[in-house]
Structure 1
Amino acid sequence: MVHSPSPDIDVPDVSVHEYLFGGLDPAALDDAALIDGTSGAVTTYRQLLGQVDRFAGALAARGLGVGDVIAVLCPNVPAFATVFHGILRAGATATTINSLYTPEEIAAQLEDAGARWLVTVTPLLPGASAAADRLGIPAEQVVVLDGAPGHPSLADLLGEGRTAPDVSFDPATHVAVLPYSSGTTGLPKGVMLTHRNLVANVAQCRATIGLAEGDRVLAVLPFFHIYGMTVLLNFALRQRAALVTMPRFDLAEFLRIVSEHRATWLFVAPPIAVALAKHPMVDEFDLSSVKVVFSGAAPLDGALAELVASRLGCTVCQGYGMTETSPVTHVIPVDRTDLDRSSIGVLLPSTEARIVDPESGDDVQVPDDGTASAPGELLIRGPQVMAGYLNRPDATADMLDPDGWLHTGDVATVTADGVFRIVDRLKELIKYKGYQVAPAVLEAVLLGHPAIADAAVIGTLDADGQEVPKAFVVVQAGQSLDEESVMSFVAEHVAPHEKVRVVEFIEQVPKSASGKILRKDLRAREAAARG
């Protein structure tokens, strides 16, 4: 067992709202909490707190509170913070939905989460309305933040001027958020994260990551994703930093906002790091304000990290985590210049890990000479580990053992100094540009094509070394297909990040005697083809 090199922390027994805002210094009330990167409009901490309270009051007036689930389908705009924290302030549970989801996917999450209210914005209203109609959710329960006929708006709800309700719940057991994750395999499942889980992870980040009051943080990573939710929307606000929001990534706009708003911290996923390292446009902007580029959501190559650090003259770090761990478990602290940038660093405070042989389940021995251990599956235990999957005791038991160890499905090594490196993945989940892509979802779509007899999906590497979904397709006898038609068919049924990017036609999908797809055989085929 490996313990964090940092001392354990005390996790306050309070709600997310109380932890983030309860100790706010009155002198900081008029500091910027959120800055709209597009327009430059500023929301102060005083304004944010007032909006959160009034939004919570409006929800309570509609009978919403503890036991209710409210869905949020919204890009990164300042109002997201009002809605998200207003939901938690009212004692309700927020389920955040990927802004790229199709109406079918939105409806599936609404139904599974038990959400009967949905908050969205005009550009996403067509998909939101289609999903709501499918489930019989009336228009008056679909809040359109920027206003749309027949729907309540944010201005309407805040304009009621209601006070926040008095709510009571146990932070250790009350579910604050329900983000969706495929876990180690299968279809997306609701991850039950309690107030204590989220408070713990922010407290752990505060003790390890060097973000400080007065920093300006570019918020391009989506708030609906656990990385953006915890590290930006919660941690950065707790640190009294200012969040500069971007509704979607565009390199030129990204660079303009960093330059004009003098962002000091950039939390990114590896594809953005690739652009920062290689794209000629970067030289056209003044990025001298950037102190730290922190990467997560997918593995960052060490050589790429060095390129970014050299080009921007900044520190580059990375971390590791999962939706099921709120999400952060490992980081490279800013002051640990001795750590290899391709490692995921060290454990956060109050976090334990094991590296186990996936066949025997025995703990892998860690050499005393400073070299890395043999690889094994990474197991995590700590206060940030989820309560379980919503209505899925079977999946919870597969992921979380009775002693509280969460099986990540990732293969890692560790040194005697407690430095971890991810070297492979047991799980099937594909990470495309930081987004989770479940092979089972794409396989179900592919099998809906009348000319496809069988299909399997794995991750493969593109020219930049980033993982993309690849489909192996068996064509029905007497039918003909080409790569483009397969990709177009899938694109019609899934979100943009879930598209199949590569297609290979094969005679037969390798399967076990029980009918399970042998993805390791397909991955071996890929490795052989790459030489």
Structure 2
Amino acid sequence: MSEEHILSFSSMAPHIYTSPYTPYPILSTSIFTRLFASGASGDSHIGSFPGSLKAFVDADSGASITRAQLAHLALSLAYGLKHNPHTSRFASRGSTVLIYSPNSLAWPVVLFGSVAAGLRCTLANSAYTSHELAFQYTDSGAKLVFTAEDGLSVVRAMLHESGIAKEEAEKRIIVLGSDLRWAGGPSAPRSPASEYLLKMEDLLDKGKLAEEEKFEGSNAHETVYICYSSGTTGKPKGVETSHQNITTLLDIVSSAFPPLTGGSIMLGILPFYHIYGIAKLVHYPFTQGCPVVIQTKFEPVKFCSVIQRFRVTHSLVVPPVLVILARHEGPSTNTIYRVSESLFSGAAPLGQTLVKQVKDRLLAKRGGRGNLGITQGYGLTETSPTTHLLTVEEADRKMGSIGVLLPNLEARLVEDDEGKIDAAEGQPGELWIRGKTVMKGYLNNPTATKNSITPDGWFKTGDVAIRDNEGYYYIVDRRKELIKYKGFQVPPAELEYVLLSHPDIADAAVIGLQSEKEATELPRAYVVHAHPDKVKTAQAKAEFARSVVKWMESKVARHKFLRGGVAVIGIIPKSAAGKILRRDLRELAKQEAARGDLGTEVKARL
């Protein structure tokens, strides 16, 4: 790999790095047109690949949809949305729909059908509570909601919390059932709870748009996806991702990502509502003619059996999945798993030790046959998401690196908040990114946008990185306070807000603990009891702490649980301005860890 070029390296100008890869032409078109256009190959092809090629496969049933079927279903759904009496009033160009569902074969149909109709899609975590979902529904301006049957009770509660009358609320729900007959799969009974609601299938047989809504030229800058990023303070923020953000990403990723043609098959276990999943599983494989096998959730034995059954060649994972693969014992320890040719990790840092453990163990399961590339990349919701990739060829030599900068992007490593001082060669600095994949801004939040993107277009990632003399980057710290649990963002301020609603908590603060065992961060709360005389003994404090952990589980999504525990203290350290001094709490956590109070495999994040 050649070293990156330094565009400017004088003491007076910023140090700007570019990619060693050749830049790509920037397209100005809609993401639907980019993916589904027949092009020069004719109508029998969808996006330069035969329409008969499978696009998505349901791992449980084996049901599948081809590229041509997906195009037809998407345009049919778009027509249904625009002409159904319940949905048409909310399906004009630029309107927003919310998708609240775990992975399913219906997911790409709903997503691309909505995009073909000219709608914006906001993607919600399928584990959200009604309160969490209500904020995203209201903030995004969504009206229609696509939901799996299992999410119906949450969606109904959310609409009620949003002040929408029941009769009206029922008209805004579209149900994704378990019946796969529309895809040639098995039938399934409909949940009684969804009996009188509109089903996705009801929108598929009314007609078909002749063509998708167009977003050409400057219109390609219009928002297409609104994924929510927790940021570092306050409530979650809607990241406005444009058509051009995604089309640019799909091109530049191909420079370093393993080739997915010639019989490649990808396993889709990452949640599609996450920017990592939506970009790298729903979109990118489609550009490469690579089918995606959809698995609803990760289970170690099922993960390996699905890989064997469908002969999967590439899998996208997160570090906690690799932790399980490194340690899990299947039903037969003599089984030789046909593991993917490559495992690509993202959404959270990946350590060298874990990579080696997984490689040694899984190659042993295969009798030492072949090779296994375990690599990683880097990005954020705000960068659509990927900015760096480590190639399979360099995975062992540069283990622990996030790779090099992708084409069409620029980077800086900055020492100060204003960007006046750049880090010296080989020294750490906050990673700033500039390019066409960087978001338009935060929805309804110009202040956060201004604080995150400089007037000349640099996005401040909040992550501290080092760049070596070959142009490879390493993430070494994070300036943000954001906690990441298994790739999911957990904002301390949000948890603190919930904790303060507890009748016996007078004050609260949350920090992240790094679990070596789980290879992820765990949220830990420090609370001040409203009646200190009730928790004078260590036993009373411990019992109250356990009750708070349990109480929180009824208030937030699973990834926000206080898995790092709760500690009762006398006062939350704060500055004169009232800002929580989390550094002091991290020092306290280090002392707790030294005493063994946090377990031997947990440490406070510096």
TM-score by length of 2: 0.84
Structure 1 residues 487-526: aligned runs within 5 Å: 487-501=549-563, 502-526=565-589
State which of 68, 78, 81 in structure 2 corresponds to 1:59: 81
State which of 403, 413, 427 in structure 2 corresponds to 1:374: 427
2:530 is the alignment partner of 1:486: no
- Structure 2 counterpart SS, 1:108: helix
Pair 1:348–1:463, CA change in 2 (3 A): closer
State which of 389, 402, 407 in structure 2 corresponds to 1:349: 407
Rounded Cα–Cα distance in structure 1 between residues aligned with 2:61 and 2:212: 35
Rounded Cα–Cα distance in structure 1 between residues aligned with 2:488 and 2:506: 28
Rounded Cα–Cα distance in structure 2 between residues aligned with 1:222 and 1:475: 38
Structure 1 residues 223-242: aligned runs within 5 Å: 223-242=272-291
Where do 5+ consecutive residues of structure 2 fail to align? 1-15, 178-189, 364-371, 536-540, 595-606
- Structure 1 counterpart SS, 2:33: helix
Structure 1 residues 222-261: aligned runs within 5 Å: 222-261=271-310
State which of 379, 384, 387 in structure 1 corresponds to 2:440: 387
8 Å Cα contact 1:76-1:222 kept in structure 2: yes
AA aligned to 2:324 is: A
- Structure 2 counterpart SS, 1:186: coil
Number of aligned residue pairs: give it.
Answer: 526
Rounded Cα–Cα distance in structure 1 between residues aligned with 2:156 and 2:418: 50
Deviates more, 1:132-141 or 1:426-435: 132-141
State the 1:463 CA deviation.
Answer: 4.6
Rounded Cα–Cα distance in structure 2 between residues aligned with 1:299 and 1:177: 25
State the 1:80 CA deviation.
Answer: 0.2
2:35 is the alignment partner of 1:20: yes
For 1:442, the equivalent position in structure 2 comes to 495
Tell me the C-alpha RMSD between the 2 structures: 1.8
Structure 1 residues 386-465: aligned runs within 5 Å: 386-464=439-517, 465=519
State the 1:303 CA deviation.
Answer: 1.3
Rounded Cα–Cα distance in structure 2 between residues aligned with 1:215 and 1:363: 45
State the 1:360 CA deviation.
Answer: 6.9
Rounded Cα–Cα distance in structure 1 between residues aligned with 2:462 and 2:335: 40
Superimposed CA distance per residue, residues 257-288 of structure 1 (whole angstroms, 9 cap, x where no aligned partner)? 12211111110011001111121228465432
For 2:346, the equivalent position in structure 1 comes to 296
2:260 is the alignment partner of 1:212: yes
8 Å Cα contact 2:116-2:212 kept in structure 1: no
Rounded Cα–Cα distance in structure 2 between residues aligned with 1:250 and 1:284: 19
For 1:370, the equivalent position in structure 2 comes to none
State which of 231, 256, 259 in structure 2 corresponds to 1:183: 231
State the 1:527 CA deviation.
Answer: 3.0
Superimposed CA distance per residue, residues 428-454 of structure 1 (whole angstroms, 9 cap, x where no aligned partner)? 111101111111111011111111111
8 Å Cα contact 2:300-2:328 kept in structure 1: no
Superimposed CA distance per residue, residues 316-358 of structure 1 (whole angstroms, 9 cap, x where no aligned partner)? 0001110000000111012224642211111111111111113
State the 1:513 CA deviation.
Answer: 1.0
Structure 1 residues 2-21: aligned runs within 5 Å: 2-21=17-36
8 Å Cα contact 2:75-2:212 kept in structure 1: no
Superimposed CA distance per residue, residues 118-160 of structure 1 (whole angstroms, 9 cap, x where no aligned partner)? 0011111110111123331521220002162221111111021
2:340 is the alignment partner of 1:287: no
Pair 1:341–1:204, CA change in 2 (3 A): same
8 Å Cα contact 2:146-2:174 kept in structure 1: yes
State which of 528, 548, 553 in structure 2 corresponds to 1:474: 528
AA aligned to 2:512 is: G
State which of 315, 335, 344 in structure 1 corresponds to 2:393: 335
Deviates more, 1:286-295 or 1:320-329: 286-295
Rounded Cα–Cα distance in structure 2 between residues aligned with 1:22 and 1:375: 44
- Structure 1 counterpart SS, 2:330: helix
Deviates more, 1:87-96 or 1:477-486: 477-486
2:154 is the alignment partner of 1:127: yes
Pair 1:284–1:517, CA change in 2 (3 A): farther
Rounded Cα–Cα distance in structure 1 between residues aligned with 2:574 and 2:121: 39
- Structure 2 counterpart SS, 1:355: strand
Where do 5+ consecutive residues of structure 1 fail to align? 368-372
2:142 is the alignment partner of 1:111: no
For 2:61, the equivalent position in structure 1 comes to 39
8 Å Cα contact 2:307-2:338 kept in structure 1: no
Pair 1:380–1:453, CA change in 2 (3 A): same
Rounded Cα–Cα distance in structure 1 between residues aligned with 2:524 and 2:457: 34
AA aligned to 2:498 is: V
- Structure 2 counterpart SS, 1:138: helix
State the 1:528 CA deviation.
Answer: 4.0
Superimposed CA distance per residue, residues 155-214 of structure 1 (whole angstroms, 9 cap, x where no aligned partner)? 111021332555243443210000101124332011000000011111111122113123
Deviates more, 1:128-137 or 1:201-210: 128-137
Pair 1:263–1:277, CA change in 2 (3 A): same
- Structure 2 counterpart SS, 1:443: helix
Rounded Cα–Cα distance in structure 2 between residues aligned with 1:237 and 1:201: 13
For 2:381, the equivalent position in structure 1 comes to 323
Rounded Cα–Cα distance in structure 2 between residues aligned with 1:246 and 1:9: 33
AA aligned to 1:133 is: H
Deviates more, 1:462-471 or 1:65-74: 462-471
Pair 1:360–1:69, CA change in 2 (3 A): closer
- Structure 2 counterpart SS, 1:159: coil
Pair 1:166–1:274, CA change in 2 (3 A): closer
- Structure 2 counterpart SS, 1:379: strand
AA aligned to 1:60 is: K
- Structure 2 counterpart SS, 1:335: helix
Rounded Cα–Cα distance in structure 2 between residues aligned with 1:59 and 1:359: 46
State the 1:44 CA deviation.
Answer: 1.1
2:365 is the alignment partner of 1:310: no
AA aligned to 1:382 is: G
Superimposed CA distance per residue, residues 379-414 of structure 1 (whole angstroms, 9 cap, x where no aligned partner)? 111110000000100000011111110011111111
TM-score by length of 1: 0.95
For 1:194, the equivalent position in structure 2 comes to 242
- Structure 1 counterpart SS, 2:97: strand
Rounded Cα–Cα distance in structure 2 between residues aligned with 1:479 and 1:102: 31
Rounded Cα–Cα distance in structure 2 between residues aligned with 1:90 and 1:297: 30
State the 1:249 CA deviation.
Answer: 2.1
